[in-house]
Amino acid sequence: MIKPYKDNLILCRNIHLVKKVALLLILSFNISTVIGQLGKDNFYISWPTEYSWKKYDLNTHIELPSPNEDSFRYWSLGSDKVIGGFELIPKNETLNNWTIKGTMLRRVTYDRKAIYSDANINLVAKGIFAVEKKTSPNAKFVVLDQISEREVLFKIENLQYKDTPSPQSKLYYILLGTHPYIASVAIKESHLSNDFTAKWTKIFKSRNYSFY
């Protein structure tokens, strides 16, 4: 039997952050040049199997089935959700007590036009940092790789939350495709080690993306 997510404070903060990020993603699509009418896309990251992940809906925190790698494809969430996403934690851990947590978020943007620019992708990254900095004034933001006008890799370290005693650090990857996608991995440390950063940089850069 799946236990409900007990910490309402954490739940409210997470949903509030997701809504703010979604708003930033909407705003980021109003800066530069239009590149054409949208189709559909698939976005996929191969999360390391060494953690034996459990998968939870990002909004409801209900555990989701994940029988194979295909269950981590975003199109499986359906196009009816304005915000789609999930969290991943190791199978022997809980949403209230984890050592590493992955997150994937999608903003659905069917039937509209996409705008891609360096300013646009940087706005999204800096916007996420601005949201985090409101509760963590000592947080550190570093762009690791401006991959393209549609892709950026960055980290935010030394995040301090009132409801969690340990600092957290996160590594983010953003892709502005037909849908804007955000993937991140978090650990409860004040900074990300070089080995951790190198490992997850390789994982996120190895993402699969297709447009049709």
Per-residue model confidence as pLDDT tens digits over 147-182: 888 899 999 999 998 877 899 999 999 988 776 788
Please provide the average confidence, as pLDDT, over all residues in the chain: 74
In the predicted model, what is the mean pLDDT of residues 11-38? 44
Q: What is the mean pLDDT of residues 185-192?
A: 96
Whether this model's pTM surpasses 0.85:
no
Number of H helices, E strands in the chain: 3, 12
Distance CA 160, CA 166 (A): 7
Q: How confident is the model at residue 139 (pLDDT cuts 50, 70, 90)?
A: very high
d(CA 120, CA 146) in angstroms, rounded, equals 12
Per residue in 38-92, pLDDT (tens digit) is: 456 677 788 888 888 888 988 888 888 764 544 444 433 334 344 578 899 999 9
Tokens 């998968």 sit on residue:
55
Q: pLDDT at residue 9 above 50? A: no
Spatial distance between the Cα atoms of 44 and 2, rounded to a whole number of angstroms: 26
Cβ contact 108:179 at 8 Å:
yes
Calpha distance 87→93 (Å, rounded): 12
